[in-house]
A and B are shown apart, each in its own frame.
Chain A
Amino acid sequence: MKKFLFAGHLFSPLFLLLIAVSGVLRAQDFNGRTVAEIQYDPQQQPIDSHDLQDAQLVRVGEPLDSNQVAATIDRLFATGLYDDIQVDAEPAGNGVTLRFITRSRRFIGHVDVEGKLSDPPTRAVIASDAELNLGTPFDPDALNTAKANIEQLLHDNGLYEAQVGTATIEDPDTHQVTIRFLVEVGKRARYEMPVIKGDTKLSDAAIVRATGWRIRFIHRWRQVTQALTDKGTDGIEKKYAKQNRLTASVDITSLDYNPDTRRLKPTLEINAGPKITIKAIEAKVRKSKLRELVPVYEEGSVDNDLLFEGAHNLRDYFQSKGYPDVQVDVRREPLKNDQEVINYYISRGPRRKLVHIGFVGSTYFTETTIRERIFLQENSLVMRYGRYSEIFRQKDKEAIENLYQANGFRDVKVNSAVETNYKGKPNDIAVTFHIDQGKQWLVNKLEFTGAVRLDVAPLRDQLASAEGQPYADVNVDSDRNRILEYYYSNGFPAASVTIATTPGPEPATINLTYNITEGPREFVRSVVVSGLNRTRPYLVERAINLQEGEPISMVKVSDISRQLADLGIFANVNSALQDPDGTNRYKYVLYDLEEAARYSMRFGVGLEVGQFGGTTTNLAQAGGAKGISPILAGDINRINFLGRGETISLQFRYSPLEQRESLNYIVPRFLGSPKRTGTFSILYDTTQNVQTFSVRREQASLQISQRFNRASTMLMRFIYRRDAPNTTIPALNTPAFTSAVRLGELSGSYIQDHRDNPADAHRGFWNTVDGGLAGNFFGSQRNYVRLLGRNATYTSLGRNLVFARQTQIGLIKPYRIQAGFNSFDVIPLPERFFGGGSVSMRGFGDNQAGPRDIGTLSELPGTPVTPPTGFPIGGDAIFFNTFELRFPLLGPNISGVFFHDMGNIYSTLSDISLAYHQPDTGFLYPAKPATGVTQIPIPAFNYAVQAAGFGIRYKTPLGPVRVDLAYTLNPPRYIGFDMNEPIQTLIACTPQEIGITKSCSPIGQQLSHFQFFFSIGQAF
């Protein structure tokens, strides 16, 4: 027999009595009794102990007041941390024990999407469509809405078989809920022949073609995606737009999915509308310009507002082209035969030049200061008619007023007058701005009120308004923002500032008061990080320098987000406060991270055009021959290796001139500093970018990059490499030059970059110093020091001109030269300075500057034992200087450059010379006058080559596209072959044949006076 607890006793008199007793005890019966104890159930409350102390108004030892209990419930709930609060009371002797029975509110944490997905949609898009915002209260109903949103998103992308499940995990300490959406996408539907309704004026086949929903030629329907569905309707609208049916409307009224065939049938409701022709009458306007200026094209509808807007735009356009008297009228012709014509009648009037802009009444600002702020521009070489339109004139009036008002001239009035027939010339106009400055108002007294918990004294220096300085509304607004930023940064998210002004004691003076309402101060309770799967937590923790109890600065919280994003291992970094609207002062700061994909790959192909050719194929092209070299390049990166935030990168580049593979291990925040990066690399490279030789290079290196500030960076590196050069130039074909050599070099660079825009600088300077030491103590087979410095400056001359200059100087100096070497051959060919080309010295082709091969002379003035080939052989010193004048040429995107490049590569530092004329060695070639062959002086190369030229720059988002044409005033002469003899024939020349036999006789030549370069980016 079952036994029940109350069986047989439920209605006993004793029980009824006890129930009756219990009914007698009510809330008011406890009022006034002393509170003996206050308990919380559960004991661990979601609220911080500081906030609990503030919220709890009932106190142990004090009489119970039910109003205080009610107020405590209100306060606790207002924190936003509770879903339910109940207060029980229980007699305790003569007093009462209170128990707060609570249920904590939960908050949205990390949102994860699991399962094998089919892109689109991506995981990030699915998570975003869930619309679950980090740190906001978690509502199970919202989870159902999120699930429905995701299902809809998947359906929109043709994934009608998709199943979405949800799972949640709550952190009992922080009450953050991790939400997991488990998605099984199933197979994607394909489109099928749509139902087409309405007045289409196009065949169904043409409409289907325009949608792009079916693959052309093979007629297979494509898989459904939301983007393709949208593109389909856009495609139809574009098709109509091409037929000038600008008001066509295309709507998808339904998308019907057939689960048996997995096909989606769209229903299209189309109204083609009439053909609309927009014409410019009496003045020529390019069709593309008309499309740009008449908004009917963009809006896809025709109404009077849009037509008048088009008329205004056309008027402004013609005025800016020098037709200030232009009149534009629009007339809409009646619809006829499915055709509507809209005519813009443009009466341009005479073309006028804005020849003068004057300013009258301005004493406070110079004319230059005002001119910098206006749109109107007088005619010039660049702008033949100047720039004038009524809109510009109006804007300039406002700009001048703003300038004065910002400097305390509150009552300034600016008027402008246009004078035609200026100085008797009928087509010249002048604009005069009449400026009535009025009085300059000054701040007499600046005060703060309401700043209680924060010292605002440090703010005074940062404000735009100051006692004795001009009073301006714009300054006051800026000050308000500065004060609020200061408060927000110090944990006062609800701070507000109002401004009060009263007249000062003197005329035109103002007493200014900033009234601050600080509001509550919020503090960091703790930091909660979510979303880490593979990443080691320490990596994130060391980036988050928030301490428990410190005031919350949302500026700092955002900065940390940016630093986390800069680690490069997260696809998304989201930060928030838990329950930001709650009244609790101690809040959790949340960082939710989405780890990026582990692998990334990039591949590219390109074409290099330049002065190629080389000793391996032809000794007759010492000055270089034009060539084309295809390039295949790419990299494969494994980011966040072992969860440590480090990256392994395999990079490659293949072209006929260079084959390179490198493996890099990149350690950001090297040795704990966020501004330090370590890179370990191994490299295998075969290159022939200097046509004199090829080199196979095997290299291992360690580089540490330390950034000091935005502009200054230092690089320290140790490189150990093996160079194996190869050359067929007879004079260089000796063991000293062609033997493989091991080099160990410790080097460093210091870079100071104060350019305003590195891609196209207008102001600032750029300095680099690079030095290296190679020695046998580093395992090097050669001993030398290397130093290279560069200084570039950029100066704005007026509004549009930039004067830029750059000087480079460098040297390589051998020391402790080993036996068997001399100072010339101890530096391996690949380590020497080579120069010339678009970024060093435009008087030369690529790497054509400096000393060249003059063969080997034996027992001078005896017989040369190897023929001179004239190929560049590099030098141990470098000096280049460049001047550039950069100016606007055509419109805002095309600019021009005049440049002068000067300098050369020199044999040694002491050989650096600024001489204009190329010197001779003093020897003659061939050295045997008895042969009857005309002798040529053998040239030396240590002189300064000078080149001047002109360039054009076209501004693009990647930087300016550059074309330079240089004329070299004094290109070097050299002795070299000019015949296409087989190379083996030339090499096989015996000393007796050199200079005698025709095929073994180099002749005097000279590098071209003209050089042409095409590249991206400024020269420096």
Chain B
Amino acid sequence: MRSRLITLLLLTGAIASAVVIDRIAIIIDNKMIVKDSDIRRDIRVTSFLNNQRPDLSPASQKQAANRLIDQIFIRREIELGGYPQATLQQADQQLDSLEKERFRSQTALNAALRSYSLNALDLRFRFQWQLTVLRFINSRFKPAVLISDDEIEKYYRDHAAELRRQFPGRSSLNDLRDDIRDLLTDERVNQQFFAWLDAQRKDTKIQYLEADLR
């Protein structure tokens, strides 16, 4: 009985002491990886920006992993196509806005970041990336979208009430034509962007080394 207890203590001790501090979670096309640490950081940054507590549940990790896979596709396309990328200076403007809107001072911002195990650079990178993705979407998908007058008229007919609410004081088709065109363009760009992401996912070999993320 005593020996069993010792064995148990040793075993559980071993389990208790060895901790996985990082590992490869996903391999994309044998060339790019997503690590556990990337997933955790993504959750923390997203939670911080959303002003939420970090949720490290399997479902949340899976969601973050999928976001990171999409980012890899976009990053690859940006490099291959030579699309323009935002600079850190441009990202700083976003950081300043955040600081002004949610925190009274830089000290308060840094303290909040520390509570999420983040630093200012993590946020700057995130903002830089967001700007880069927006530019990419505009350059890659927007030029191919053409909205016909028929589509604008149809949208006007189908969503007249909604449009009146959204744009009070402007009710005629001619008044709303440009706004509808923008709405439809954004919608079509989004469709194309997500269709492109789906196609990338189908054409890419994705190995999940952690089954929960699949």
Contact = CB atoms under 8 A, between A and B. Distances in A.
Contact of B12 (A19, A89, A137): A19
B113 to A, nearest CB: 14
B21 A66 contact: yes
Interface in A126-142: 137, 139, 141
A77 B20 contact: no
Most buried by A among B7, B18, B27, B209: B18
B201 to A, nearest CB: 17
A939 to B, nearest CB: 89
Given A15-B12, A18-B13, A22-B12, A89 B19 contact: yes
Given A15-B12, A70-B38, A88 B24 contact: no
Contact of B20 (A88, A137, A139, A141): A88
B23 A86 contact: yes
Nearest to A141: B205
A21 B33 contact: no
Contact of A137 (B13, B18, B21, B30): B30
Main SS class of interface, A: mixed
B12 A73 contact: no
B208 to A, nearest CB: 12
Nearest to B13: A18
B22 interface: yes
Contacts of A88: 18-21
A70 B37 contact: yes
Contacts of A61: none
Contact of A87 (B13, B21, B117): B21
Given A18-B12, A84-B209, A74 B33 contact: yes
A30 B209 contact: no
A673 interface: no
B146 to A, nearest CB: 30
Interface in B61-88: none
Nearest to B17: A90
B16 interface: yes
B199 interface: no
B68 to A, nearest CB: 13
B17 A15 contact: no
A66 B122 CA distance: 14
B8 interface: yes
A69 B13 contact: no
A28 interface: yes
B15 interface: yes
B16 A25 contact: yes
Interface string B96-125: 000000000000000000000100000000
A450 interface: no
Nearest to B209: A84
A27 interface: yes
B35 interface: yes
Interface string A1-35: 00001100100001100110110011111100000
B4 to A, nearest CB: 8
Contacts of B22: 27, 66, 69-70, 73, 86-87
A586 to B, nearest CB: 20
Given A84-B24, A84-B209, A89 B18 contact: yes
Interface string A60-82: 00000010011001100100000
A468 interface: no
A905 to B, nearest CB: 75
Interface residues of A, number: 37
B15 A27 contact: no
B77 to A, nearest CB: 19
Nearest to B33: A77
Contacts of B20: 27, 86-88
Main SS class of interface, B: mixed
Nearest to B16: A22
A453 to B, nearest CB: 26
Nearest to B7: A5
Contacts of A105: 30
A27 B21 contact: yes
A186 interface: no
A463 B117 CA distance: 57
Contacts of B35: 70, 73-74
A25 B209 contact: no
A6 B7 CA distance: 10
A15 B13 CA distance: 10
Nearest to B11: A5
Most buried by A among B24, B33, B38: B24
Contacts of A66: 21-22, 37
A85 interface: yes
B8 A73 contact: no
A9 B24 contact: no
A85 B12 contact: no
B65 to A, nearest CB: 15
A672 to B, nearest CB: 44
Contacts of B4: 9
Most buried by B among A5, A84, A86: A86
Contacts of A9: 4, 8
Contacts of B209: 84
Most buried by B among A6, A19, A70, A141: A70
A426 interface: no
Nearest to A70: B37
A91 interface: yes
A761 B123 CA distance: 74
A139 B31 CA distance: 13
A84 B35 CA distance: 11
A73 B21 contact: no
A84 B27 CA distance: 9
B16 A85 contact: no
B151 to A, nearest CB: 37
Given A28-B117, A66-B37, A139-B30, A73 B16 contact: no
Contacts of A89: 18-19, 21
Interface string A748-789: 000000000000000000000000000000000000000000
B195 to A, nearest CB: 26
Given A26-B19, A30-B19, A89-B18, A73 B24 contact: yes
A28 B19 CA distance: 11
Contacts of B30: 105, 137, 139
A86 B19 contact: no
A241 to B, nearest CB: 41
Contacts of A73: 22-24, 33, 35
Interface in A453-512: none
A944 B185 CA distance: 98
Contacts of A84: 23-24, 209
Nearest to B117: A28
Contacts of A139: 30
A6 B12 CA distance: 11
Nearest to B207: A83
Nearest to A20: B16
A671 B7 CA distance: 68
A25 B17 contact: yes
Nearest to A101: B23
B24 A18 contact: no
Nearest to B37: A70
A137 B207 CA distance: 15
Contacts of A141: 205
A70 B24 CA distance: 9
Contacts of B17: 22, 25, 90-91
Given A19-B16, A66-B21, 17 more contacts: A18-B9, A18-B16, A22-B12, A22-B15, A30-B21, A66-B37, A73-B22, A77-B24, A84-B24, A86-B20, A88-B20, A89-B21, A90-B17, A98-B21, A137-B30, A141-B205, A581-B31
Interface of B: 4, 7-9, 12-13, 15-24, 27, 30-31, 33, 35, 37-38, 117, 205, 209
6 contacts: A27-B21, A30-B19, A69-B22, A73-B35, A86-B24, A581-B31
Instruction: Give me the 7 closest cross-chain CB pairs, A-B, nearest first.
Output: A22-B16, A86-B23, A27-B21, A18-B12, A70-B37, A89-B21, A90-B18
